[in-house]
Homo-oligomer: A and B are copies of this chain.
């Protein structure tokens, strides 16, 4: 019994695709216990989490839509939050957890570095977290790693930095269907244009945050951050994907570009490119400086696998961190949780 009560206790908040994947990975880890599950979907409220995740056995955790009641009665070390990309939508959910005294780790893209786009909400959340002695972190693979943490870390090698450019070149044809839809796969160029105008296609959420994050780490005061509307990538030949067949001339995916400027000079460029005709995916960081750095992850990194990993791997570091709304640049080096999660809570160097 004492052993059980020492496990790292986690409440799941949001059981869409990402939330379920995070929960499934947590079930594979030692020293971890899921002690609560919150979701608003009528399809799963009232069901056992084991059934919702499609694992064989019941987990003794019933999915509830009454977050207030759950959070007020369950003891837990952290809430793993995965609902939407936008801080205006997640703020009340996250602040509710914080006010009940829980650390929060979230996949909310805008939470990864919210101080530029949402300074009021960010400062309010920071203040609430400090008042309640808990830590809040937004992370994932992107934002959270590929376009912020990794280029920041690589500048550590540089005596001087003139410019940082990051490119994520992603093959989309084997990704889950909602993702392929989100990037316009199979639309006509005209339909794509209309969906951009109606903001039904937004491109990658996180460019603004990653640019502000890099600038903050480097001490750069950006004059402005420009996020260009996503451009369609048109198929030059017929492309078969796991979702549909894209005909020649239809949209194969999109390109989103963000730029950070100082006195008119572009010092940060982030390119997110995802479509069904990418033959060699990669993630690349180019730093112009002394020395210059040309870094590449050959084959790229699978977005969903990586985000789930980042959330689970950062859990012990969030539990150990000082109170406040933190960002990846405030955290110690990310690293994989491979053994019993409790050993990573022994913060001190041996």
A155 at the interface (CB under 8 A from B): yes
Cβ of A70 within 8 Å of any chain B Cβ, yes or no, is: no
Output the least CB separation between A57 and chain B (Å).
Answer: 21
The residue of chain B having its C-beta at the shortest distance from the C-beta of A216 within the complex is B350
Interchain CA distance A324-B294 in the complex, whole Å = 34
Residue of B nearest to A141 (CB): B157
Among A25, A332, A339, max chain B CB count under 10 A is at: A332
**Chain B contacts of A16 at CB under 8 A?**
none
Say yes or no for A15: interface residue by CB 8 A criterion: no
Q: How large is the interface on A (under 10, 10 to 19, 20 to 34, 35 or more residues)?
A: 35 or more
Cβ contact of A338, chosen from B157, B161, B331, B349, cutoff 8 A: B161
Neighbouring B residues of A219 by C-beta, 8 Å: 337-340, 343-344
Please tell me which one of the listed residues B220, B296, B312, B331 contacts residue A296 in the complex, with CB atoms under 8 A apart. Answer: B296
- Measured between beta carbons, the chain B residues less than 8 angstroms from A290 are 305, 309
Query: Is A333 in contact with B115, judged by CB distance below 8 angstroms?
Result: no
Across the interface, A294 reaches (CB within 8 A) one of B289, B294, B299, B325, namely B299
Q: Which of A295-330 contact B (CB under 8 A)?
A: 295-299, 301-302, 305-306, 308-310, 312-314, 324-330
Residues of B within 8 A of A155 (CB): 313, 334-336
Partner-contacting stretch, out of A58-66, A76-84, A146-154, A175-183: A146-154
Chain B residues lying within 8 Å of A295, measured Cβ to Cβ, are 295-298
Please, which residues of chain B bring their CB within 8 A of the CB of A120? none
Q: Could you say which residues of chain B place their CB within 8 Å of the CB of A335?
A: 152-153, 155-156, 217-218, 329
Q: Is the CB of B349 within 8 A of A324?
A: yes
Is there an interface contact between B333 and A157, defined as CB atoms closer than 8 Å?
A: no
A263 adjacent to chain B (CB < 8 Å): no
Q: Is the CB of B301 within 8 A of A159?
A: no
Chain B residues contacting A326 (CB-CB under 8 Å) are 349
Whether A159 contacts B349 in the complex (CB less than 8 A), given A294-B299, A305-B291, comes out as: no
Q: Is A160 an interface residue (CB 8 A)?
A: yes
Name the residue on B nearest A298 (C-beta). Answer: B294
A297 cross-chain contacts in B, Cβ below 8 A? 293-296
- The CA-CA distance from A335 to B344 in the complex, in Å, is 24
- Given contacts A216-B350, A297-B294, A330-B332, whether A153 and B153 have CB atoms under 8 Å apart is yes
Which of A156, A295, A348 has the most CB atoms of chain B within a 10 A radius of its CB? A156
Of the candidates A159, A299, A340, the one having the most CB atoms from chain B within 10 angstroms of its own CB is A159
The answer to whether B217 touches A312 (Cβ under 8 A) is no
**Could you tell me if B159 and A309 are in contact, using CB atoms closer than 8 angstroms?**
yes
Taking Cβ atoms with an 8 Å cutoff, the residues of A that contact B are 25, 28, 115, 126, 141, 145, 149-150, 152-153, 155-161, 216-220, 289-291, 293-299, 301-302, 305-306, 308-310, 312-314, 324-340, 343-344, 347-350
| 26 contacting pairs across A/B (C-beta < 8 A) | A141-B157, A149-B153, A149-B156, A150-B153, A152-B335, A153-B334, A153-B335, A156-B309, A156-B310, A156-B313, A159-B305, A159-B309, A159-B312, A216-B350, A217-B335, A218-B336, A218-B338, A290-B305, A293-B297, A294-B299, A296-B296, A296-B298, A325-B349, A328-B333, A329-B333, A330-B332
